[in-house]
Amino acid sequence: MGKPEYFNNHLITASPLLASPSADGRFGGTYIMKQLDTQLMHPVEQINIIIGRIYRSGMTTTSGGNISIRDDNGDIWITPSGVDKGNLTTKDIMCVKKNGTIIGPHRPSSEYPFHKAIYESRPDITAIIHAHPPALVAFSIARVVPDTKIVPQAHNIIGEVGFAPYGTPGSEDLGEKIADEFRNKNYKAVIMENHGVVLGGSDMMDAYQRFETLEFCCRTIINGQRLGEVNYLSDQQVSQYVNHIPGNVPHFMNIDYPSDERALRTEMVSIIRRACDQGLMISTYGTVSVRWKDDDFLITPRDVARWDIVPEDIVQIKSGMAETGKAPSRSVALHQRIYQLNPHINSIICTQPVNLMAHAVSGTKFDVRTIPESWIFLQDVPSIPFGLIYNEIEEVAKMFNDNPVILVENDSVFVTGDKLLNTFDYLEVAEFSANSLVMAQTIGPLKPIGDKEIEDLRIAFNVK
């Protein structure tokens, strides 16, 4: 774990990406640990991890962006000014005491005034993120507030979005303009005119998930508009999703995990982290399941940040029952029926990559007949209406007998396969292909290959 560090007389625990197995040796080997536990970590650790995550995800630059936490004492912990965001350590994080005393080796962020102003106007906010991710900046310079009702959970996570008039960066004037927007308690996200975005949260993870989800919405809207007209969900459709939580799921007491199940759990966590690293999944959405034995399977839990899932979080579904004390994904019933009706399917990934979702929110056909290698993997990808995966489980599950990939309008993409790694590969191929199709729109009309060429592919690669 490394030597303990101290900051301002506070013990800072090490936060590696990989940890040794638990004391009982349950999973054996190494596994990916939770990166952020706001109940256990000091503010400097939380800030250091989240700013690193933002930077590595391409949502801020070396010099751009700043984040902060207000602790129970009223002290504000904040990223420093003029220090490389790609190489920050816990020792670089600054503290501005409630009485104004500054502690740390650097100057606090130049945007500290608006952090302070927001905290003073909103006692319910204890964490703030400000950054310049490309899609959100695009909305800020177009002076447009994005409509987040493109996928059902986004609006629920983000809430209403405010818009603050332009102010000189680092000025008290800008701080007051932003704080004035945050005085509307419906807002925890505010677009800054010709600048970027600032978001608040009840804790750092709450703020980060709102930030990541809002940038996802903006990128999806922009790419969807390249393809056609973006379709938004109604309040009733959003409510349908929010209220669709599996009820009366029976539970069983799981005493032990056999070795083959442990291996599957570890593989699932590795694939989920990989999907997050590659922008194929975000904290707030993404479901992975793997058939374990007969029709029993393992599935990701509900309401656990995807970046931070560990093997113990994974939920075993056995004879239609879930492990005691765990809540499986909302789509657990559909996953179960897919496995029951399709013996050739052993893994499922359901997620929301930006370019596939651009097709899903615009109603544009995801035409993989434009790229031979993509068609070989994915075949023709059907698109089904929003809500069908909740209301017509039997019919949707049957579709996977002939279609390894299905796009759900304004919802997600489902990818199936024999092995989890192969399923992830199909997901990568699908998103890379969708990205190419989005970019091609600026060049000229798409020119897919014809039926003869498709038949040649069927024969050459033994495709059904």
* Percent of the chain whose pLDDT exceeds 90: 77
- What does pLDDT average to over the chain? 89
Q: Tell me what the mean pLDDT of segment 250-254 comes to.
A: 80
| Residue whose C-alpha is closest to residue 355's, from 442, 227, 448 | 227
Q: Tell me what the mean pLDDT of segment 257-263 comes to.
A: 88
For residue 52, the surrounding DSSP H or E stretch is helix 43-56
pLDDT at 96 over 80: yes
pLDDT band of residue 438 (cuts 50, 70, 90) is: very high
In eight-state DSSP terms, residue 91 is: G
Query: Active-site positions?
Result: 111
The pLDDT of residue 143:
96
Q: Give CA–CA dist 282/284, Å, rounded.
A: 6
In eight-state DSSP terms, residue 191 is: E
CA angle 3, 276, 284 (to 5 degrees): 105
Altogether, the residues listed in the chain come to a count of 464
pLDDT band of residue 22 (cuts 50, 70, 90) is: very low
pLDDT band of residue 38 (cuts 50, 70, 90) is: low
Q: Give CA–CA dist 217/222, Å, rounded.
A: 9
Q: Give CA–CA dist 363/386, Å, rounded.
A: 11
Q: What is the CATH code for 14-235?
A: 3.40.225.10
| Residue whose C-alpha is closest to residue 383's, from 353, 361, 401, 350 | 361
* Within this chain, domains 14-235 and 247-460 share the same CATH topology: yes
Sorted by where each begins, the domain ranges of the chain are 14-235, 247-460
Where on the phi/psi map is residue 313: left (φ > 0), alpha (ψ -120 to 50), or beta? alpha
The pLDDT of residue 251:
82
pLDDT at 5 over 60: no
Both tokens assigned to 373: 């290698």
For residue 102, the surrounding DSSP H or E stretch is strand 102-103
Looking at CATH, the fold of the domain delimited by 247-460 is given as: L-fuculose-1-phosphate Aldolase (3.40.225)
Q: Tell me what the mean pLDDT of segment 244-249 comes to.
A: 69
The pLDDT of residue 25:
32
Which residues, 6 or more positions from 25, have their beta carbon under 8 angstroms from its beta carbon?
A: none
Q: Tell me what the mean pLDDT of segment 236-260 comes to.
A: 77
pTM of the model: 0.88
The pLDDT of residue 205:
94
For the segment 74-95, what is each residue's pLDDT rounded down to a tens digit?
Answer: 999 999 999 999 899 999 999 9
pLDDT band of residue 240 (cuts 50, 70, 90) is: confident
For the segment 176-191, what is each residue's pLDDT rounded down to a tens digit?
Answer: 999 999 999 999 999 9
pLDDT at 28 over 90: no
For the segment 356-377, what is each residue's pLDDT rounded down to a tens digit?
Answer: 999 999 999 999 999 998 999 9
Taking a C-beta distance cutoff of 8 angstroms, is the pair 250, 320 a contact? yes
